[in-house]
């Protein structure tokens, strides 16, 4: 097999999970913006996700967010997804949109509030059982705004207690993915602020606990690819939430602000053996002003392009340059791969998969946007509210 053939084979196997909430209305802290044709139910979200997969061929799973995607019959929802060529992916908990969580959820000083939050997390594992989902995604808005507001160490102990209870509830083949974020909505302390804190908790819990890297959840200038390399080396990288940022957690389309960073991250994924089913590649974005389905398709394509470039890095030449200390030559090897126009290669891959080489153009020709705009008039559109 030639090098190009190997790259094509790897790209055909890629899987990028799309989030149900990206198909609904979203916005800023000040306003949620409605768009015509937005889904009203989880099933309509799956209809849109199936359209993304039909045009890209690499988006076969959809993450759910509870309670945003709450239904009476989760097994039935899984069957509905399967009928559309999809499966249900990560189950994302929500312990940040209830008035009781003003001072935190699992880290709250009140034991009754902590119990309420834990019950929700355990409910999410029940939903995993019903849907066949592998991953439970945990992100906590818990933290404090003022020095002295609460005991920092005590909050870590409460967090550890809740995580241990959830971990014990996980079944065979199920994982816990712990996400971190350095600030917001808490501004003095955040209870899971960085990869080190997440790693420490996951290490104590065991092999079914993994760290998830949200590419928007870091301070400016953070070397995310270093974090990725270390977590892969330790066997603790569970997945990604892909998005892009200029300032903080902007949740822009992945690769839109810094495509070179996305390439560097994907190179470390490939280099560290993280390119495969053990690492969950998921989009986590808010499409506030742009059309949602085309934006999701474009995001999938951006990840594909960064991956293709990472796979094209001449590893032997890079290792040789590194071994002899040739700084410029080593950098040139990476830049040669990054500067390669991989769009023709990906067009060939899509054609070999029986797809249109231009997924965005194919979507616009499909008439789906016009259809859902007409069919989804009336009712309450899905969204996370603000």
Q: What angle do CA 369, 251, 23 make, to 5 degrees?
A: 25
Tens digits of per-residue pLDDT, 259-275?
Answer: 999 999 999 999 999 99
- In this structure, the strands spanning 143-144 and 189-190 are antiparallel
Band the pLDDT of 1: cuts 50, 70, 90.
Answer: low
Tens digits of per-residue pLDDT, 318-338?
Answer: 999 999 999 999 999 999 999
DSSP 40: S
Tens digits of per-residue pLDDT, 198-247?
Answer: 999 999 999 999 999 999 999 999 999 999 999 999 999 999 999 999 99
Angle between helices 224-233 and 195-205 (to 10 degrees): 10
Token pair for residue 350? 């899509």
Which residues does residue 19 pair with via DSSP β-bridges, in sequence order? 63
Q: Tell me the domain boundaries of the chain.
A: 13-375
Which residues does residue 26 pair with via DSSP β-bridges, in sequence order? 33
Q: Which of 126, 156, 310, 154 is nearest to 229 (CA)?
A: 310
DSSP assignments along 304-343, one per residue: HHHHHHHHTS-HHHHHHHHHTT-HHHHHHHHHHHHTS--H
Third-level CATH fold of 13-375: TIM Barrel (3.20.20)
**C-beta neighbour count of 98 within 10 angstroms:** 14
Share of the chain above pLDDT 70, in %: 99
Band the pLDDT of 27: cuts 50, 70, 90.
Answer: confident
* Predicted local distance difference test score (pLDDT) of residue 384: 78
- pLDDT, mean of residues 135-153: 98
Band the pLDDT of 385: cuts 50, 70, 90.
Answer: low
Res 386 pLDDT > 80? no
Please answer whether residues 127 and 66 qualify as being in contact, where contact means their C-beta atoms are separated by less than 8 angstroms.
yes
Tens digits of per-residue pLDDT, 282-293?
Answer: 999 999 999 999
Ramachandran assignment for 106, one of left (phi > 0), alpha (psi -120 to 50 degrees), beta (any other): alpha
């Amino acid at each position: 097999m030639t090098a190009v053939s190997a790259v094509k084979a790897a790209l055909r196997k890629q899987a990028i999970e799309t989030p149900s909430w990206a198909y609904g209305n979203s916005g800023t802290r000040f306003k949620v913006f409605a768009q015509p044709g937005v889904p009203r139910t989880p099933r309509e979200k799956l209809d849109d996700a199936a359209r993304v997969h039909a045009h890209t061929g690499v988006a076969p799973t959809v993450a759910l967010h509870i309670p945003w995607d709450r239904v009476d019959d989760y097994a039935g929802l899984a069957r509905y997804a399967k009928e559309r060529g999809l499966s249900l992916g990560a189950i994302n908990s929500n312990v940040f949109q209830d008035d009781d969580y003003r001072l935190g959820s699992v880290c709250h000083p009140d034991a009754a509030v902590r119990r309420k939050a834990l019950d929700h997390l355990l409910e999410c594992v029940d939903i995993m059982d019903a849907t066949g989902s592998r991953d439970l995604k945990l992100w906590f808005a818990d933290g404090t705004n003022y020095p002295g507001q609460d005991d920092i160490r005590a909050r870590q102990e409460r967090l550890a207690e809740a995580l241990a209870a959830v971990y014990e509830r996980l079944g065979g083949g199920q994982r816990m993915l712990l996400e971190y974020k350095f600030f917001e909505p808490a501004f003095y302390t955040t209870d899971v602020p960085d990869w080190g804190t997440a790693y420490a908790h996951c290490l104590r819990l065991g092999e079914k606990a993994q760290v998830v890297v949200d590419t928007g959840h870091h301070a400016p200038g953070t070397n995310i690819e270093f974090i990725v390399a270390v977590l892969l080396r330790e066997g603790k990288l569970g997945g990604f939430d892909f998005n892009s940022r200029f300032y903080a957690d902007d949740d822009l389309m992945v690769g839109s602000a810094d495509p070179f960073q996305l390439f560097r991250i994907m190179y470390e994924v490939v280099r560290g053996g993280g390119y495969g089913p053990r690492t969950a590649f998921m989009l986590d974005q808010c499409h506030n002003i742009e059309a949602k389905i085309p934006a999701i398709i474009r995001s999938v394509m951006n990840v594909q392009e960064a991956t293709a470039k990472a796979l094209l890095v001449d590893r032997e030449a890079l290792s040789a340059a590194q071994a002899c200390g040739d700084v410029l030559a080593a950098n040139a090897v990476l830049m040669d791969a990054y500067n390669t126009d991989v769009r023709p290669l990906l067009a060939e891959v899509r054609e070999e998969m029986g797809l249109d080489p231009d997924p965005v153009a194919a979507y616009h020709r499909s008439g789906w946007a016009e259809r859902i705009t007409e069919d989804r008039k009336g009712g309450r559109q899905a969204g996370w509210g603000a």
